Amino acid sequence: MNNKHPRGLYLLFTIEMWERFSFYGMRAVLVLFMTKALLFDKAFASNLYGSYTGFIYLTPLVGGYIADRWWGNKRLIVAGGLMMAAGEIILFFAGSLYITNPQLAGLLFFSGLGCMISGNGLFKPNISTLVGQLYTKEDSRKDVAYTIFYMGINIGGALGPILCSLAGDTGNPADFRWAFLTAGGAMLLSVIIIHFFFNKHIKDPEGKLLGTKPAGAPAIVSSKVFATTFLAGYVLLMIALLYFDAKVISFLPWLLLGSAIFIAAIIFSDKSLLAAEKRGVAVIFIVAFFVIFFWSAFEQTGASLVFFADEQTDRRLGFLRWEVPPSLFQSFGSIFLVSLAPLFAWLWTKMGRRQPSSPAKMAIGLLLLGLGYLWIAQGVKNVHPGVKVSMIWLTVMYALHAAGELCLSPIGLSLVNKLAPLKFASLLMAVWFLATAAAQKTAGVLSALYPANGKATYVLGYTINNLYDFFMFFVLMTGIASLTLFLLTKKLLKMMPQQ
């Protein structure tokens, strides 16, 4: 077996790196912009953050479906990239006008987030799917390929918060706009790279260009008039749905549940699928359920942990006479991911057939996530509100979370690609993001429980009086999920074809 990876992997690595730079750079300042510039309270900002990120991971259902039936991967990646760039620029104008025209700034804010949601839905499932299609179905290099691809995600995830926080998180809320503009420039760079290099390098093992329009696609969908009308309506719909969920009534959880049932019905009712293929699809749905517990705890990074970094972390670097911007801490996880990814890629390759199964790796990931929260819980135990603790508590927690993510996310992406029937490849990749969408919404809801002003909050009978209680809730949640997944591992392996 040739251990050298195709050039297309490294091109997708670069494209995804700049897109993630844009996404994570914007996300680093998002809740701070909401609470310090738009003056939203923490609970509303947390729930809006959850709705936004939930829709971010729900809309890949749209992109996956359209790619499989209408336009192919490449066209949607380009369209999605342009939408996201437009969204960042709109957020720049929201950040420029929030003082002089707060109503217009609010409208632009929701519009910018709607563009980001729309574009991500077209971009995200299609580029992830292409990684697996660079290899044959049986190629053992796939786990390593997704780990390498994940390095691209996290180089962007590290650089984005660093540069965007330095540009925009200066202590003056008016400067947040420069973070959005920086993120928009990175997204445009990603689109430019696609334009010049995609056709040359994104090919399957036989040398056939990937991401082209699928055979049998209706002729009408290829017309510019149809495409423009459809995409414009799609963006407007996402803006309206986000606003309605945030301001009127939260319907997103029900939409997520309905989407999961709808997709399952489509796939399991398909008579062309073999029984073994359906069992593999069932495994995807089961592990996706456990992904919800992982990401709902992990994604406190962009919500409650931002409040913690801002208010209860001693961010002073005395030897530099500089205080670290709270948004910059969001780069820590990605920095650790980039540092640890080569180690994990080497470890899985070295272990070969002796390595843990994919479900077992994911259970280990949940365990490491829980250990991260156990660590930081010890750091705030018996610490009074307003007392700042050392940065070491956040730093070590992010290191443990990074190790957990490397055991779960790239392994899960690879597992979906291995088990998904080709007919439903993009749609089942979107199922992975659907589970993440549920987790993101849950993350926002849980972040709203962040203790403030000595007021107790409650979740499932568990009382949160302080930060120690808050972090220990995540220890319990991820610990139970990890143990359950470990116990199910043998059963899942029996269900998986060709394992």
Integer Cα distance of 175 and 225 in angstroms: 39
Residue count of the chain:
499
In a domain, 405, yes or no: yes
pLDDT at 91 > cutoff 90: yes
Q: 394 versus 224: which is more confidently predicted? A: 394
Q: How confident is the model at residue 1 (pLDDT cuts 50, 70, 90)?
A: very low
In a domain, 1, yes or no: no
Q: Is the dihedral of CA 290, 291, 294, 300 positive or negative?
A: negative
Q: What is the DSSP string of 269-310?
A: T-TTS-HHHHHHHHHHHHHHHHHHHHHHHHGGGGTHHHHHHH
In a domain, 155, yes or no: yes
| pLDDT computed for residue 211 by the predictor | 63
Mean pLDDT value of segment 443-455: 85
Q: How confident is the model at residue 348 (pLDDT cuts 50, 70, 90)?
A: confident
CB 478 within 8 A of CB 88: no
In a domain, 481, yes or no: yes
Identity of the highest mean pLDDT range in 42-51, 53-62, 250-259, 346-355? 42-51
Range scoring the smallest mean pLDDT among 74-88, 146-160, 298-312: 146-160
Query: Residue 398: CB partners within 8 Å, gap ≥ 6?
Result: 301, 329, 332, 333, 336, 372
| pLDDT computed for residue 195 by the predictor | 81
Q: 306 versus 419: which is more confidently predicted? A: 306
Identity of the highest mean pLDDT range in 150-159, 206-215, 317-326, 385-394? 385-394
Identity of the highest mean pLDDT range in 187-196, 365-374, 408-417? 365-374
Write the pLDDT tens digit of every residue in 394-410: 999 999 999 999 888 87
CA distances from 32 to 166, 198, 289, 449 (A): 14, 36, 30, 17
The amino acid that residue 40 corresponds to is F
In a domain, 216, yes or no: yes
Q: How confident is the model at residue 416 (pLDDT cuts 50, 70, 90)?
A: confident
Instruction: Give the distance from CA 48 to its chain's centroid.
Output: 16
Classified as helix, coil or strand, 14 is helix
Domain, as residue range, for 289: 7-495
The closest alpha carbon to 493, from 358, 367, 312, 368, belongs to 358
Instruction: Give the distance from CA 101 to its chain's centroid.
Output: 32
CB 187 within 8 A of CB 81: yes
In a domain, 394, yes or no: yes
Tally the domains of the chain: 1
CB 328 within 8 A of CB 165: yes
| pLDDT computed for residue 222 by the predictor | 73
Q: 475 versus 279: which is more confidently predicted? A: 475
| pLDDT computed for residue 66 by the predictor | 82
In a domain, 327, yes or no: yes
In a domain, 2, yes or no: no
Q: 42 versus 417: which is more confidently predicted? A: 42
Mean pLDDT value of segment 203-223: 70
Integer Cα distance of 393 and 375 in angstroms: 7
Q: 302 versus 418: which is more confidently predicted? A: 302
Q: How confident is the model at residue 390 (pLDDT cuts 50, 70, 90)?
A: very high
| pLDDT computed for residue 499 by the predictor | 46
Residue 379, domain CATH: 1.20.1250.20
| pLDDT computed for residue 140 by the predictor | 66
